[in-house]
Structure 1
Amino acid sequence: MNGKIAALLATLAISAPLGADTAPLTYDRIHLSANTGQEVDNDTLVAILFAQREGRDASKAAREVNTLVSRAIDKAKLTPDIKSRTLDYTTTPIYSKSSSFSGGSKITGWRVKQSLRLESRNATGLSALLGKLQEELALGNIQYTVSPERREAAEDRLISDAIAKFKRRATLISGEMGSRGYRVVEMHINTSGASPRPLQVRAMAMEMKSAAPPVLEAGTQRIQVSVTGSIELKP
């Protein structure tokens, strides 16, 4: 082997391990977390209603459903501070099993359904409206939740508390380890809130002559914030 080539290979063999990992070594890096939470009063009531019709004529059933939902939206607009939004609209066939001699099944009619979502911080007004709408619509479920504005304000307070707790723990760890201090290497902030459970409301029959407004209790929802991260102790 050529002497120059052999010398070059030897040099590479010696230097390769040194250059294989150029990332700086880190020492005294510690991972920690801090969590905090708060019960926040629910301030927004959400209700889901639906209109449904069945029949051999799909167009007729659709017209009836459209009329019922449009009438409900008009009533909702008369009550202050109520937001209305239509949801899923479905048309599905109704099958009837034929005799075992012919086999299979055939379409005997159509089922048309559309849902309506109502939301308001005026729980009293929305509750009264639901009593009226149940004369023509079925009530699917009701739930209380926290408005975006109230949730954001609560999260801001909790983030401050969680970061302060994180810093206290970092200072405690630094002192226990005999360090002059610490620096934050990374930090992650996560927020969460328990999903509100729908109030148990039986779907009321269509075309009721009258319906009493539902009795509701707002309750609370727990908002939580967690701060996780890494610190590096100063020597």
Structure 2
Amino acid sequence: MIDKLHKRYLMIRILVLTLLLAPPMQSLAHETEDHYDRVHLSASAQAQVANDTVITMLYAQEEGRDSVQLANLVNKRVENAIEHVKQYDAIKVQTSGYSTTPVYHNNKITGWRIRQSIRLESQDMALVSDVLGQLQQTLALQGMNFTVSPELKNSTDDQLIEQALQVFERRAQKVTQQLGRKNYKIVDIDISTAADHYPRRNYDVAAMATKVAAPAIEGGEQTLRVTVSGKIEME
């Protein structure tokens, strides 16, 4: 008799646990309903934008046996360059790297190479061209690249987002009408922005004692894109 009661008690406990762990039928039905008549859509907009910012890298480099003397020469040339650039409010200047590396010959250190770089950034490309021509009397031009300023990118992205959302809305309405439905609602939506890589020019020019002709600067353009993707549910 006790064994029968014990078995019955165990069966009741198992049944209760099963009912507690099982998802409610209403929740299952609601979940199925949430995924009913949903359509994924995407839309995009893009624009060609002129690169309005130039970024240049220049460096001073010396090589020889006396590392202290070399460091003084490099530091002085960089300091003079920075002081010169600071005359122009339209150009941002900052140091960008300093390195001291040994020079080997027959697996022995025979000297040192010391190098320091500076970075210039400006939206006045004509001014940068003139300043580079002056700085290349003592520094070497390492690289130049172009990009869109944050202000221009943000304003362009805002316009493209509006355009892409309008296209998304038209497509959602079109799909809803074509499938014979009266209305739709947006279940989720994602907005992403992207841009082509800006053009880059690399140089390896030895520092010169005579005046160097100012380099030609043409920023070119890049494409900014906005993509809207999302899911609608038709009613």
Fold conserved (TM > 0.5)?
yes
Contact 2:103–2:110 (CA under 8 A) maintained in structure 1: yes
Give the whole-Å Cα distance in 1 for the aligned partners of 2:138 and 2:95. 16
Query: How much has 1:50 moved relative to structure 2?
Result: 0.7
Deviations 1:93-134 (A, max 9, x none): 12222xxxxxxx222211111111111111111101101111
The one-letter amino acid of 1:123's match is: M
**Deviation sequence 1:113-165 (CA, Å, 0-9, x none):** 11111111111111011011111101011122111111111001001111111
Alignment partner of 1:88 out of 79, 92, 97: 97
2:200 is paired with a residue whose SS is coil
How many corresponding residue pairs?
A: 226
**Offset at residue 9 of structure 1 (A):** 3.0
- Residue 44 of structure 2 is matched in structure 1 by 35
Change (3 A) 1:181 1:58: same
Letter in 2 for 1:126: V
Deviations 1:57-91 (A, max 9, x none): 22221111111111111111123411101101111
Distance 1:166 1:17, change over 3 A: same
Is contact 2:61-2:115 (8 Å) kept?
yes
CA contact under 8 A between 2:126 and 2:217: conserved in structure 1?
Answer: no
Aligned CA RMSD, in angstroms, stands at 2.0
Return the alpha-carbon distance in structure 2 between the equivalents of residues 10 and 79 of structure 1: 82
Q: Could you tell me which amino acid in structure 2 is paired with residue 204 of structure 1? A: V
What letter is aligned with 1:222? T
Counterparts in 2 of 1:122 and 1:14: CA distance versus 1, 3 Å: closer
- Pairwise CA distance, 1:195: 1.5
Aligned ranges for residues 13-24 of structure 1 at < 5 Å?
13=18, 16-19=21-24, 22=27, 24=31
Percent identity at matched positions?
37
Q: Which runs of 4+ in 1 moved over 6 A?
A: none
Q: How does 1:68-79 map to 2 (within 5 A)?
A: 68-79=77-88
Aligned to 1:155: 157
Shift of 1:12: 4.8
Q: Alpha carbons of 1:232 and 1:136: their partners in 2 closer, same or farther (altered >3 Å)?
A: same
Q: How does 1:52-67 map to 2 (within 5 A)?
A: 52-67=61-76
* SS in structure 1 at match of 2:137: coil
Counterpart of 1:190, as a letter, is: S
Cα distance in 1 for partners of 2:12, 2:110 equals: 90
Deviation of 1:16 (Å): 4.8
Which secondary structure state, in structure 2, belongs to the residue aligned with residue 210 of structure 1? coil
Partner residue in 1 for 2:222: 221
- Normalising by structure 2, we get a TM-score of 0.88
What secondary structure is seen at the aligned counterpart in 2 of 1:51?
A: strand
